[in-house]
Amino acid sequence: MRAGELLALLGPSGSGKTTLLRVIAGLELPDRGRIIFGGDDATRLPVQERAVGFVFQHYALFKHMSVAENIAYGLNARKRPGRPDKAEIKRRVGDLLDLIKLSGFADRYPSQLSGGQRQRVALARALAVEPRVLLLDEPFGALDAQVRKDLRRWLREIHDRTGQTTIFVTHDQDEALELSDRVAVLDKGRLAQVGTPDEVQEAPASATVLKFLGDTIEVEAIAEGGRVFVNGRPTPVAAPPGLVGPVKLYARPWQLRFAEPEHAHVEGVVRTSYRTQGRQRIEVDRAEGKTVVVEAANSARLAAGRPVGLQIVGGHVFAD
């Protein structure tokens, strides 16, 4: 974790990402391993002294306190010498309300706010204590699609403006890839890969990472002499050095193309096709029973039941 960066913890549900975030915050104790903040071992540091800002998935705003009281809570909770005076707290709360664009809302109660507004108040409350690291648990999980998009952009802006070191947890690949400087992919409690969004997409470390980052088609293949063959026909995919024998080839929907039977790697029958956001998606039932999704530029609609061949034009290979 680098200072000032925005890191996404990405993983399917049950992969341990929220647990990891809570361990970092000190809300849960690790079975093994250590938590290091800027060279200091914080593993045994109680949660109050870790100086983390935690934004909970359902915000956990204090229902009986106004927006301003919520934001001021961390400052008011400090022991005497370290506690700012009343005027200073008021000023800081005002600044944060400006930052989250809720200046007129200081005296409202959480129940009087929309989901997006509550989320922003939760963020301001966490930022008020000037945390060493800001931790967000599924920050957009409980919001509807439009608010989610606006808040994403807004969070990125805030981050760019404040330079606050931030970790956020998400199960949404698009969110992680769009928003973060680096992505950490978690799989069954283990860190599968850390890298920039480009790195994890272009060079996924494992089949699991690859599969988790988007729709894939999985095909039995043979690697030989640095090349990969499917159905006895060569593909443009290069095999990593040393990988020989039966392997699995993974391709994205846009790495498939319709082809004549003599060039096809995979054959099947069109199940259905539909248009979405200017692209056409075609579901194809493969001969061995699995359904794959192919993405193509807008073309004539393919009738259901029509036999088609598919050619693989790109992808990644991993040992079986």
Partner 1 sequence: MSEAAALPRVSPQPAVATEGRPVRWVLTALAIGFLALFLVLPLITVFAQAFAKGWDAYRAAFDEPDARSAIRLTLTVAAIAVPFNLVFGVAASWAIAKFEFVGKNLLVTLIDLPFSVSPVVSGLIYVLLFGAQGLLGPWLLANDIQIIFALPGIVLATIFVTFPFVARQLIPLMQEQGNAEEEAALTLGASGWHVFRTVTLPNIRWALLYSVLLCNARAMGEFGAVAVVSGHIRGLTNTIPLHVEILYNEYNFVASFAVASVLASLALVTLVIKSGLEWRYSDELAAGARRH
Partner 2 sequence: MPEPLRPRRRLMQPSVIPGFGLAFGYMLTCLGLIVLLPLAALVARASGLGLSGIWEVATDPRVAAALKVSFGISILAALTASTFGFLVAWVLTRYDFPGRRVVDAVVDLPFALPTAVAGIALASLYAPNGLVGAQLAKLGIQAAYTPLGIYIAMVFIGLPFAVRTVQPLIVEIDREIEEASATLGADRLHTLTRVILPPLIPAVLTGFALAFARGVGEYGSIIFIAGNLPYVSEIAPLLIVIKLSEFDYKGACAIAVIMLAISFATLLAINLIQAWSRRRFGYV
Among 51, 106, 205, 313, binds partner 1 (CB under 8 A): 51
8-state DSSP, 113: S
8-state DSSP, 206: S
Minimum CB distance to partner 2, residue 75 (Å): 21
- Residue 254 lies near partner 1 (rule: CB under 8 A): no
Q: Which does 16 bind (CB under 5 to 8 A by kind): partner 2, partner 1, none?
A: partner 2
Q: Which does 105 bind (CB under 5 to 8 A by kind): partner 1, partner 2, none?
A: none
The owner of tokens 């983390």 is 52
Angle between helices 115-128 and 67-76 (to 10 degrees): 20
- Residue 31 lies near partner 1 (rule: CB under 8 A): no
- Residue 52 lies near partner 1 (rule: CB under 8 A): yes
Report the C-alpha gap between 298 and 300 in whole angstroms: 7
Residue type present at position 77: A
* 26: CB partners within 8 A, 6+ apart: 35, 42, 45, 46, 47, 50, 52
Q: Which does 306 bind (CB under 5 to 8 A by kind): partner 2, partner 1, none?
A: none
Report the C-alpha gap between 79 and 73 in whole angstroms: 12
Minimum CB distance to partner 2, residue 183 (Å): 16
- Residue 63 lies near partner 1 (rule: CB under 8 A): yes
Torsions phi, psi for 106 (to 5 deg): -55, -35
65 or 191, CB closer to partner 2?
A: 191
Minimum CB distance to partner 1, residue 315 (Å): 43
Tokens of 182: 């680096």
Q: Which does 74 bind (CB under 5 to 8 A by kind): partner 2, partner 1, none?
A: partner 1
Q: How far is CA 75 from CA 41, 86, 91, 164, 278, in A?
A: 25, 10, 12, 18, 51
Among 27, 45, 99, 142, binds partner 1 (CB under 8 A): 27
- Residue 277 lies near partner 1 (rule: CB under 8 A): no
Kindly list the residues in this chain that would bind partner 2 in the complex (CB under 8 A).
Answer: 16, 19-20, 23, 26-33, 46-47, 188-191
Residue-wise burial string across 89-119, b where 16 or more C-beta atoms lie within 10 A, e elsewhere: beebbeebbebbebeebbeebbeebeebbbb
Q: Which does 246 bind (CB under 5 to 8 A by kind): partner 2, partner 1, none?
A: none
Minimum CB distance to partner 2, residue 57 (Å): 17
Minimum CB distance to partner 2, residue 30 (Å): 7
Q: Which does 19 bind (CB under 5 to 8 A by kind): partner 2, partner 1, none?
A: partner 2
Minimum CB distance to partner 1, residue 28 (Å): 10
Q: How far is CA 276 from CA 271, 272, 281, 282, in A?
A: 16, 13, 7, 11
- Residue 53 lies near partner 1 (rule: CB under 8 A): yes
Burial of 313 (0-12, 13-18, 19+ CB in 10 A): middle
The owner of tokens 């229902």 is 63
46 or 225, CB closer to partner 1?
A: 46
Interacting residues with partner 1 (CB under 8 A): 25-27, 47-54, 56, 58, 60-64, 73-74, 77-78, 125-126, 128-129
